[in-house]
Structure formats: structure tokens, C-alpha cells
Structure 1
Amino acid sequence: MSPETPRDSVPPIASTVRRTALLIAGLVLLTACGGGGSASGGEARESAADGFPVTLENCGRTVTVDAAPRHAVSLNQGSTEILLSLGLADRLAGTATWTDPVMKGLEKEEAGVPRIAENQPSSEKVLAEEPDFVSASFESTLGKGGVASRDQFQELGVPTYLAPSDCTGKDNTGSSDGSRTVPLTMDPVYTEVRDLARVFGVPERGEKLVTALRGRVDKATADIDASDATLLYWFANAEAPYLAGCCGAPGIITEELGAKNVFDDTHEEWPQINWETVADRNPDVLVIGDLTRRSQTAESAEKKIEFLESNPATKNLDAVRHKRYVLLSGQAMNPTIRTVEGLERVAAGLRSFGLAG
């Protein structure tokens, strides 16, 4: 999710290019024609027999990678965790924009990848890593007000990849987190896994990961009926809370479990809705983002619950009085491989509250 994501000071890309002319000259030579040669230039390039070049249709663009990246930068946690899950930590020159601790089981892999910035980095910091490939989870990261546009990276010979979940059936033209024209499913996430695995020359790992994710979804939803349960998803901010609309990652969770999101009448990804309206909807369960970043008020679940139990507009909610809370990482509330983690935890919570058959 991207509301109010803080970032380092970002100089205009043109200014960055001027100040780092030598770096960029080398970068262009290194990645000419969208290439993905090794960072050192000393490693053998993959041949056509190895499946390269790879060409993908990605969010309205044709992306060609001539060789498997050796020095990639992933600009959002969700994208990074896919690459780490594919066993590609040694191919990452850097990562940025984190809301949570790394996914369980990937701690060792993540520890070896440089963290360019906790939040959104400047284009200068990204270019300093001399990337041969850049991936991101959100269009805002590779658009106006983001790190740099896809066109600007392309001009430098650096191929870019954007998570399909942020462009499939979604309108990102507004100033908010966008709105969904059609409900999201897990299919674009599976496409992202497969695409990135192809780009890095490990397609079999992508298929293995997708199979594992599908199996977890099937297990979490087996014999569950939560049709009588109403849910509210709160990502961040106490004063003007970001709550999930109908059709993003929380919508996947809700639909898979047969439950109802109390704000399924809005297609905005994360609308800001006042607490009085929440009280009127009176959800059975509150699904709460437990974030470690520090950019909004009430980021952690502890702070959120403290607010809910003391605020006059929320302390009498049924979910609050009965302490029906399900805590999720921020990434589990985003369209990533961790959406499956969110599904598992919400399913377990509904069962423990006696709200699912």
C-alpha cells in the first residue's frame, strides 16, 4: 500500500543525470538496448539457448531483457520478497520501501541485500547502485512523484517491471491510491511471480512457488463458511484512517472466505473514512495492519488497538467490545505473495471467534 509513503529528498532525474554523468555513461553501456549484463562485466552472458532474450507484456509496455539480471534493484517490499522467495538474493544490488519485517523464512536472504532506503529512495540513490533491472509493486513508485518514471529508466537502458496487480483492472490516474474497476484476484500475483522468474532465468522456481501458494489458499479456504461475518480492514492513520475498499487485496481475502467487507460499496483502494461512519457499519471483526514503518499515526497494531478502545466513536463497536482483532502485516494487506498469509490469518481468526463454519 502506498498512502502518504515518505521518501528521501528526490532531485529531478535530469539533474541527477547531470551530476552523475560518468556513472550513467557506464550504466548505459552496461545495459544498452535494455540489456541485463553482469555488474562487473566479467560474467558470461546467457545465450539464446538459455531462453534469452526474454520479452514480456507488462502493464501496457513491452519489456525486453537480453540476459538475466545480476545487479537488480527492487523498489518495494512486495517485489523484493518475491525475488527472495525465488532464491535471487545474490542478484539484488539493493531494495527499498519497507513497511514490515521480512517474510518469515527469508531473514537470512534479506540480510545480505543492501537497504537503499527504508522508504522511497531518491533516483540518485537508485542509480548509484548501477542497476541492470528495476522492479516495483506500485505504479506510484515508477511514476510522477516516485523514484523516476519507466521512460526515464528506459532512456538509461534499464528495463523496469511493475506488478500487474497494480495495473490490472485498476485506475491510478487520481491522487489517491487508485480505484479498482474490477475485483482483484490472485492471478496477477501469480503472473508477477512467473514473469520475474522468467526474467531471471529461473522459470521452474516460479512455477514451484505458484503451486505452493495455490496449495496454501486451498488449505485455508477448505470447508469454511464465513457468510455471516462482516469485516473492516484498517491499514494506517488514526485521524483519517485508510480503510480497505471492495476490490483490492483485502477483497481477495474476503471473497475467498465468503465474508463481507463493510465498505464493499467503494471501489477506491484505500479510502479515508471517518470513524462515525465505521460505527454505523459496526463490523464483526477488525483486521488491523501491524506496521513497523513510521510515517502515519497509529502504525503498529498496539497503537491502533489503544486508539480503538479509547476513542468515543469506536470503543463501543462490537468488534472492540469483544476484542475480535486479527493482526496482519502491511504486506499481507497488499496484493503480494503475502496476501495468502493474510487469508490464512483471517480464516484462523474467524474460526477462533466462532464466526466461520
Structure 2
Amino acid sequence: MFRKSLRLLPALLCLAGSVYAQSHATHYPLTVENCGRSQTFHQSPQRVVTLGQHETELLLALGLGKSIVGTAVWFGRLPPPLAPAGQGLKRLADNAPGFEAVAAQRPDLVLAQYSWHLGPRGEVATRERFEALGIHTWVAPADCVGKAVTADSNGDGARTTPFTLESINREIDELARIFNVTERGQALRHQLKQRIGHARQQAARPGSAPLKVVYWFSSPRLNGDPWVAGGDGAPGWISRTLGLQNIIDSREEWPAVTWEHIARSRPDIIVIASMERRLYPADNAAAKIAFLNKDPVTREIPAVKQGRIIVVPAMSLNPSLRNVDAVEQIGKQLP
């Protein structure tokens, strides 16, 4: 009897897995709320254009690369784990493409990382313009929930509530439902949680005062005011996760701050963004480092004098899956 039960076990496990998959399958039509808009999907999207590297990487991480028919808004290369799946992806533009270039791909869904590409004054188009053609649209929740462009902020906007990785987890869950890959979404979330826990343990400094940090993304002029991370964006979450103190106390995502102010705050660490984009002189990480070591104000900053300059991909400093990469990379290089 016991041997008979063992012979039946594989079949029972297979049946249980099938029941589990069916119980988590998406039932269409599916109506979702996204950044104040309600949309109904009657099937899983088959042709997707991604406006923003995070959206591209998220679909690849969910095993949905074959549905991507066009991409745009790139900061750099795909991370090694996603590079094989992303080979051959069509680039419509390195930065913002035109509306016609996107519509020509005949997408049934356009995903945007930033609302300035697909918002009321969208650089590519408004959501209404795509939806008038029967094309669904999506904006990353991290860019519209608890965040807005205000009268006092620059174009990057300001946070009304601090960013946490829960915004990314929420997007994973919602896109996984839309594409009917719920189990993959759950697996991805579990993997991120494990990595964060391990990185936090590795970076722990019990009994030590928090190290002070500043995050430099770019700037329109190397010797001008740099765009540095405010306290409530993705770098703020990275700092809190690693027990660091961001010296910039601002709700703005990337405010412009004088080097004199930064020098007075005496950061122990400077994290700079590396990217292939070349819209501004300070997009170049090597140029940033050279400036820090040469300028009479910045070269006296403790982080510069002690060589505590950490370079990370720009994508890892904007709300995205890569925030976990930044936690790992910065955590490994802390003194």
C-alpha cells in the first residue's frame, strides 16, 4: 500500500501544481486602476512598447521579452542576468521617441517609466492619444503615487510620501496579473526580498554612527549646481536600507544643490551615476570623478579626500528593480 502511494505521488503533485496554477490564472476581462485611470484588458497584451528601461527590464524579468516590439529611453546596458533575453530588442530611440514611431509598431500596450513621457503634457504623447487608437497605456506607479510636479519642484517632481520598494512590488503584481504570469511575479518578489535581507546583513555596522552620503546623478554643467538625490526618492530608500544618512533634506526627487552646501555637510561617501546617455556634460561618470578631484571646493570633501566615491548604474538610482542592485553594490563598498 505504501509503495502504491509513492507511485501516485508524482501524479498528485502534478495535479496540485495544475490546480495552483489555475487558481492564480488571470480571469479576463480584467479591469485595473493605474495612476488615476481605469482600463479593461480582454486578454494578455501581445505587442508592447516600453518607454523607459525599467519597464523593459521588468518585462524581461517576468519572462515576457517576446511581447516587446519596441523600446526607448535607455540609460545604459541591460544587467547581465537579463542581457541574453534582451538581445535583439528593437530600439525606437535612446531617449524619447515620436508618437508616430511608437504607433507604427502596432502595440496593444504602451508602458512608460515616467509620466513626463506619457502624461498630461507627455513628451511622447498623452495617454488619451494612444487610447483613442485602442492602445492601452501604463505609467509606473512609482512615478505617480505619492509624487507630483509641484510649483516648487523641477521637472523631476517631488515626493509627498517617501518611496519604498513596495511601489515596485505593486507594479510587479499588477503587470503579472495583466500578462497572466502571477506565479512569475511572486517568484520575482521573493527573490528581491531575499537579496535585500542578505545585503542589509552584510552592510550592518552595529554601534557605529551612520555614514553621511550624497548621490550625484548629473548636471547641465560640470562646474554648476549638481542634481543630487532628495531624501524621499529611490536613493532615500537605499540609504535607509543600508543605515546611511542622506545629507540632502528635500522632498524633490533630484534637486539642484550648490557644491558649497554639499561641502559644508561633509559627506563620507559620494555615489555617482554612470550612464551611456550623453544629454549633459555630467552624464559621464569619469568626468564627474575628474571634477570632484580637481575642483578646489569638492576636492576637500571627506569622501573625495578618502577616495570613497562609489559608481553605480544610473538606472539603479531611479525607482526600479535595480534599486536592489544599488543596495548590494553600495553595501559591498562601505568602509
The two structures have a TM-score, normalised by structure 1, of: 0.82
Give 1:206-217 correspondences, 5 Å limit: 206-217=185-196
Q: 2:33 aligns with which of 51, 54, 57?
A: 57
C-alpha distance in 1 between matches for 2:150 and 2:45: 31
Partner residue in 1 for 2:227: 242
Q: Work out whether residues 26 and 177 of structure 2, in 8 Å CA contact, stay in contact via their aligned partners in 1.
A: no
120-129 or 60-69, which moves further after superposition? 60-69
Indicate yes or no: 2:302 matched with 1:318: yes
CA RMSD of aligned residues (A): 1.4
Amino acid at match of 1:279: A
Match of 1:289 in 2: 273
Quote the residue 1:96 is aligned against.
72
* Residue 199, structure 1, aligned to residue 178, structure 2: yes
Preserved CA contact (<8 Å) 1:89 1:112 = no
The total of aligned residue pairs comes to 302
Distance 1:78 1:50 in 2: 23
- Where does residue 109 of structure 2 map in the other structure? 133
Counterpart-to-counterpart distance in 2, 1:348 and 1:258: 13
Query: TM-score w.r.t. structure 2 length?
Result: 0.87
Cα deviation code 1:104-132 (max 9, x no counterpart): 21112212210110111111110111110
* Whole-angstrom CA distance in 2 between matches of 1:176 and 1:138: 11
Q: Does 1:179 align with 2:158?
A: yes
In 2: Cα distance, 1:346 partner to 1:227 partner? 17
Task: Tell me the distance in 2 between the aligned counterparts of 1:101 and 1:56.
Answer: 31
5+ residue gaps, structure 2: 1-24
Deviations 1:117-149 (A, max 9, x none): 011111111011111001011111102141111
Is residue 157 from structure 1 mapped to residue 142 from structure 2 by the alignment? no
Q: Provide the rounded CA distance (Å) in 2 between the counterparts of 1:230 and 1:348.
A: 16
Answer yes or no: is 1:112 the counterpart of 2:97: no
What is the deviation of 1:100? Answer: 1.2
CA distance in 1, matches of 2:34, 2:71: 21
1:268 matched to 2:245: no
Q: Equivalents in 1 of 2:263, 2:308: separation in Å?
A: 15
Aligned equivalent of 1:327, options 300, 311, 314 = 311
Look up the equivalent residue of 2:65 and give its one-letter code.
A
Stretches (4+) displaced over 3 A? none
Asked if the contact 2:26–2:178 (Cα under 8 Å) also holds between the matched residues in 1, the reply is no
Counterpart Cα distance in 1 of 2:95 and 2:26: 36
How far 1:62 moved relative to its partner? 1.1
For 1:83 and 1:322, the matched residues in 2 are separated by 40
1:250 aligned partner, one-letter code = P
Q: CA deviation at 1:257?
A: 1.5
| CA distance in 1 between partners of 2:113 and 2:126 (Å) | 14
